[in-house]
């Protein structure tokens, strides 16, 4: 087993070349790499007879790695597009024959439809001689969708091409095949058709006036077919559920007392709007359909930035007695007053910290009924300095909360250091290791 701490710090969080299968179907900037999960599978001695849970599973890195090692796992995720990605990436039962057949139809019909709308693409390399029929399609975003999609995230012509392709995918009858294609489309809009990049915030790049989409789509689906055709056997069972980790035990009522290990990474208290990171694909795939839908999604997430704090929030009530948290919140608010910062967002900074740790308190408390005696838990969390450069030692505070809920703290292991954008200081990302 490779010691992950021997990997150069600057690339420690990157997916290694040999780990692309299934993982590369769709990944996002918030994810951790498969070798981190592998390290804890080894360190904890996780075996096929064990059950692993990732309550903030994002794009399913933990679950894919467990599946590859024939270990059963559960995943919970509140963001619908990440939930969707995890589910599709861990469904290895889709017959390759069905995929190939529908694939040919989608390529043919979208090729013909693109041509009909004056956007022809050269697909002669992979389309069979019979020509597809152009579909009667609308291929437009609704006004509500436009309201939540930042205008510069994708240029009009690539968007039109993507929507025509999506309309053709939507006609695929088999649900698992259709979902596989839609995940490829999500990958395509972010990594090819859109004008977005991540660093780590999502930002807009030079607009692409036009890009062809079929060739990229073809290569993505071809890779999926190849992964499914060469999957490890046997592979673990996986169950991914859409829900809020602050109520995690409610989502797995049949697994009470059964979970042996947690390997996870929750959000960190910073100014990152997690819904913006996935906004482009969420809107195009229809997971976020307007302002109301966006708010509902934000309400499901742990409070971690000023864009998802609401007047009705009460998570802070759970951590009132924690001096360490109150002290940080006070320091942030004092600095704001001293610096004469008066924007609505800045006034929320101190509240974010309280609601964040209150939410994590609820999560750790809700986890207890699911855990087997002596279960071990690994939480990857970063220290933060986003709020007027106030240092938030995330792992240390979570350890304090966990102890108050009668977990044992085994250790806090340094995973890597990162350059804090605001301060240009290297700050720690740690793994908090707990025992039930
Ligand atoms: C750091 S990311 C995890 C990434 C994951 N390890 C991966 O490799 O893709 C944290 C995830 O927690 C999710 N999340 C935030 N609040 C949540 C909540 N209350 N319940 C469940 N998931 C939540 C976010 O949507 C995000 O996908």
Rounded distance from Cα 28 to ligand 1 centre (Å): 11
| Res 9: pLDDT | 81
| Atom number in ligand 1 closest to CA 54 | 6
Given this model, what pLDDT does residue 128 score? 56
Alpha carbon distance 436, 433 (integer Å): 10
| Nearest CA, atom 15, ligand 1 | 301
Closest CA to 241 of 182, 187, 298, 300: 300
> Would you state the pLDDT for residue 159?
96
For the chain, the structural domain boundaries read 96-229, 316-436
Q: Whose CA is nearest to atom 3 of ligand 1?
A: 58
- Give the pLDDT mean for 275-279: 95
Ligand 1 centre to CA of 299 (Å) is 13
Helices (H), 301-341: 323-338
Atom of ligand 1 lying closest to residue 28 CA: 9
Q: Mean pLDDT, to the nearest integer, of 190-210?
A: 93
Mutate to test the pocket of ligand 1, among 78, 282, 303 (most ligand atoms within 8 A of CB): 78
Going by their DSSP bridges, the two strands 426-435 and 408-419 should be labelled as: antiparallel
Cα of 161 from ligand 1 centre, angstroms: 30
pLDDT on residue 158 = 97
Centroid of ligand 1 to alpha carbon of 209 (angstroms): 33
Tell whether ligand 1 has an atom less than 6 A from the beta carbon of residue 274. Answer: yes
305 contacts: CB under 8 Å, gap ≥ 6: 269, 270, 271, 272, 273, 274, 352
Please tell me if the CB atom of residue 56 comes closer than 6 angstroms to any atom of ligand 1. Answer: yes
- CA–centroid distance, 132 to ligand 1, in Å, is 40
301 lines ligand 1 (CB under 6 A): yes
DSSP class of residue 72 equals E
Average pLDDT, integer, range 353-364: 98
| CATH entry 3.40.50.150 includes domain 316-436 | yes
Ligand 1 atom closest to 55 (CA) = 21
pLDDT digits (tens, 9 = 90+) for 291-334: 999 999 999 999 999 999 999 999 999 999 999 999 999 999 99
Does residue 272 surpass a pLDDT of 90?
no
What gap in Å lies between CA 295 and CA 187, rounded to an integer?
24
| Cα distances (angstroms) measured from residue 282 to each of 189, 311, 392 | 10, 26, 31
* Residue of the CA atom closest to atom 12 of ligand 1: 56
Q: Which two tokens stand for residue 274?
A: 């997690």
Rounded to an integer, the average pLDDT of 95-115 is 93
Query: Atom 27 of ligand 1 has which residue's CA nearest to it?
Result: 58
Q: Is the CB of 78 within 6 Å of ligand 1? A: yes
415 confidence band (pLDDT: 50, 70, 90): very high
From the CA of 245, give the closest atom in ligand 1: 20
Partners of 412 in beta bridges: 432
User: CA-CA distance, 273 to 249, in Å (whole number)?
Assistant: 26
Q: Look up residue 192 and give its DSSP letter.
A: I
Q: Which of 19, 24, 25, 30 to mutate to test the pocket of ligand 1 (most atoms within 8 A of CB)?
A: 30
77 lines ligand 1 (CB under 6 A): yes
22-60 tens-digit pLDDT: 999 999 989 999 999 999 999 999 999 999 999 999 999
Q: Residue 129's pLDDT is what?
A: 46
Position 122 pLDDT exceeds 80: no
CA dihedral sign of residues 351, 352, 353, 354: positive
CA gap 126, 130 in Å, rounded: 12
Dist CA 140 CA 156 (whole Å): 10
Helix (H) or strand (E) holding 428: strand 426-435
pLDDT tens per residue, range 73-83: 999 999 999 99
Which residue owns the Cα nearest ligand 1 atom 16?
301
The answer to whether the CB of 34 is under 6 A from ligand 1 is no
Count of CB atoms within 10 A of residue 3's CB?
A: 8
**Helix, coil or strand: residue 411:** strand
pLDDT at 428 over 80: yes
Residue 390 burial (10 A CB sphere; 0-12, 13-18, 19+): buried
Q: Mean pLDDT throughout 363-382? A: 98
């Amino acid at each position: 087993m490779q010691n992950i701490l021997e990997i150069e710090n600057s690339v420690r969080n990157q997916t290694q070349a040999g780990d692309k299968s299934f993982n590369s179907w769709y990944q996002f900037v918030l994810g951790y790499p498969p070798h981190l999960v592998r390290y804890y599978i080894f360190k904890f001695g996780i075996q096929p007879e064990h059950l692993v849970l990732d309550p903030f599973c994002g794009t399913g890195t933990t679950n894919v790695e467990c599946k590859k090692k024939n270990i059963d796992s559960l995943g919970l995720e509140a963001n619908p597009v990440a939930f969707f990605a995890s589910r599709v990436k861990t469904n290895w039962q889709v017959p390759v024959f069905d995929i190939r057949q529908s694939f040919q139809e989608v390529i043919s019909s979208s090729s013909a439809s693109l041509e009909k709308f004056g956007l022809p693409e050269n697909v002669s390399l992979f389309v069979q001689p019979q020509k597809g029929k152009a579909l009667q399609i609308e291929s437009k975003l609704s006004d509500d969708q436009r309201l939540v999609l930042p205008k510069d995230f994708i240029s009009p012509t690539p968007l039109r091409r993507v929507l025509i392709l999506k309309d053709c995918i939507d006609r695929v009858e088999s649900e698992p095949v259709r979902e596989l294609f839609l995940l490829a489309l999500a990958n395509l809009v972010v990594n090819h058709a859109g004008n977005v990049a991540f660093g780590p915030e999502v930002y807009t790049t030079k607009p692409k006036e036009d890009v062809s989409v079929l060739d990229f789509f073809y290569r993505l689906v071809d890779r999926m077919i190849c992964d499914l055709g060469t999957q490890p056997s046997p592979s673990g069972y996986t169950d991914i559920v859409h829900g809020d980790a602050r109520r995690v035990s409610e989502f797995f009522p049949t697994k009470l007392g059964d979970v042996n290990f947690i390997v996870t990474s929750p959000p960190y208290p910073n100014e990152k709007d997690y819904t913006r990171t996935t906004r482009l694909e969420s809107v195009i795939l229809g997971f976020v359909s307007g302002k109301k839908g966006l708010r509902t999604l934000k309400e499901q997430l742990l409070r971690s930035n000023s864009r998802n704090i609401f007047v009705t929030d009460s998570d802070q009530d759970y951590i009132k007695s924690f001096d360490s948290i109150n002290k940080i919140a006070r320091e942030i608010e004092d600095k704001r007053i001293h610096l004469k910062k008066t924007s609505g967002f800045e006034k929320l900074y101190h509240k974010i910290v309280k609601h964040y740790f209150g939410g994590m308190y609820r999560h750790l408390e809700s986890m207890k009924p699911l855990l087997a005696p002596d279960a071990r838990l690994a939480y990857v969390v970063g220290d933060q300095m986003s709020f007027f450069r106030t240092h938030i030692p995330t792992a240390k505070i979570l350890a304090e909360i966990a102890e108050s809920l009668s977990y044992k703290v085994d250790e806090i292991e340094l995973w890597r250091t990162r350059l804090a954008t605001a301060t240009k200081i290297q700050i720690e990302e740690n793994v908090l290791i707990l025992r039930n």
